[in-house]
Structure 1
Amino acid sequence: MTAHAITSLDQLAALYPNPVAPASIHKEIDHVDANYAALIAASPFFVLATNGPEGLDCSPRGDQPGFVTVRDAKTLLIPDRKGNNRLDSLKNILFDPRIGMLFLIPGYGETLRVNGVATLSDDPELCGRFAMAGKLPACVIVVTVESVYFQCSRAIVRAELWNAARHVDKPSVPSAGTILRDITARHAAIETFDGEAYDKALPERVRATLY
């Protein structure tokens, strides 16, 4: 522990002496109203935070805007689309149903935060509501909403997240194939990984396995 480690609420309060703005409190409600429902309907992407026996997990979820359905003011329905089958989020939900969600809307400064508890359902009728490209989700995440509030735009503005001119030049960062090649190269028991072939096949594999 360093001499400057913050270990108490009093220390934290001393660093942030300004009172909480009233709007920061009033914006939080325990249900999805018409305005918050409109934001969810406009969002094609959210991040799902869960907790499990092996620790925390944060997973990206995305589809066409409106893929998260507001069944009623206290309930959200989320189809679990095809992924890597690690099932980190789903296993965590079975262990601890508490979840956090952060919705993003391209071009919109504010984000939306939803906290609640989740269950998993493979009800055929429910899954049938979310068919895409002739395929059904394996299950649907049913979220009972406990709190909803928007987050101000400062983080998005500072990051210039929606500024196309700031988009990364892909060759300037490691590709998925490069990452896998270099990691597997450290393990003698794993045969040599062809990162270039992986990168070449990846776009078509993603397109073919979206649903």
Structure 2
Amino acid sequence: MEALYGTPAAASIRKEIDYLHPHYQAFVKAAPFVALATQGPDGLDVSPRGDPAGFVHLHDDRTLLLPDRRGNSRIDSLRNIVHDPRVALLFLIPGVGETLRVNGRAVITTDPGLLARFAVAGKLPLSVLVVHVEKVFFQCSRAVLRARLWDPAVQIARTALPSTGTILQDLSQAEIDGKAYDAALPGRVKATMY
């Protein structure tokens, strides 16, 4: 592989550290979205996490706190963490090409004091991930720029793809009524956001 790709530039090596430098803390505070990657006995998982910017709290320069909000209750990521605490996080900030990568080890807590720090409209997360940071670095903007991720000109209408209900109806062989699912979805999402 090194013969094919060559050696990394000095900047690619120097940007990697084992703590959250104030510059990297700024990325965490500005990010409303993070992808959480885990590994367990059944394989790999990557799961989206999002809230208003700053929803991932900086406990200190080596510890992040990530609330686990309501979702589909599959808890694939949490099951994986119980088996293997290694996690990888990828922070994205709308309009910014660079991403922030954080690798570390996580534990799941239901400590009432920590849960209370993440209350929204009186509703608590079900748990909080305490991520002990081992490696942090920013990723250059090339992938985001090539994808034109933040460019409104390439955004597509949600109606250009099969609806959630259509997918569920087809995959369940009509056990799930797709039209009814789609009709109820906006209200259900709004009522169960937190």
Q: Taking structure 2 as the reference length, what is the TM-score of the superposition?
A: 0.97
Kindly indicate whether residue 184 of structure 2 is the aligned counterpart of residue 201 of structure 1.
Answer: yes
Q: Which residue of 2 aligns with 1:15?
A: 4
Note the C-alpha offset of 1:29.
0.5
2:59 counterpart letter in structure 1: R
Q: Distance in 1 between matches of 2:107 and 2:138?
A: 24
Note the C-alpha offset of 1:172.
1.6
Q: 1:122 aligns with which of 110, 122, 143?
A: 110
Percent identity of the aligned residues? Answer: 58
Note the C-alpha offset of 1:64.
0.6
Note the C-alpha offset of 1:126.
1.1
Q: Distance in 2 between matches of 1:150 and 1:101?
A: 11
Q: Which residue of 2 aligns with 1:177?
A: 165
- 1:54-106 alpha-carbon deviations (Å, 9 max, x no partner): 11100000001000001100000011101111110111000000000000000
Any unmatched runs of 5+ in structure 2?
none
2:191 counterpart letter in structure 1: A
Kindly indicate whether residue 128 of structure 2 is the aligned counterpart of residue 145 of structure 1.
Answer: no
1:207 counterpart letter in structure 2: K
Any unmatched runs of 5+ in structure 1?
1-11, 186-190
* Bigger radius of gyration: 1
Q: Which residue of 2 aligns with 1:113?
A: 101
Q: Distance in 2 between matches of 1:165 and 1:25?
A: 35
1:41 counterpart letter in structure 2: K
1:204 counterpart letter in structure 2: G
Q: Distance in 2 between matches of 1:173 and 1:182?
A: 14
SS of residue matched to 2:167: helix
Q: Distance in 1 between matches of 2:35 and 2:78?
A: 14
Q: Taking structure 1 as the reference length, what is the TM-score of the superposition?
A: 0.90
1:66 counterpart letter in structure 2: G
Q: Which residue of 1 aligns with 2:21?
A: 33
1:197 counterpart letter in structure 2: A
- 1:19-48 alpha-carbon deviations (Å, 9 max, x no partner): 211000000010001110010000000100
After the TM superposition, which of the residue ranges 155-164 and 192-201 deviates more from structure 2?
A: 192-201
1:109 counterpart letter in structure 2: G
**RMSD across aligned positions (CA):** 0.9
Q: Which residue of 2 aligns with 1:192?
A: 175
Q: Which residue of 1 aligns with 2:77?
A: 89
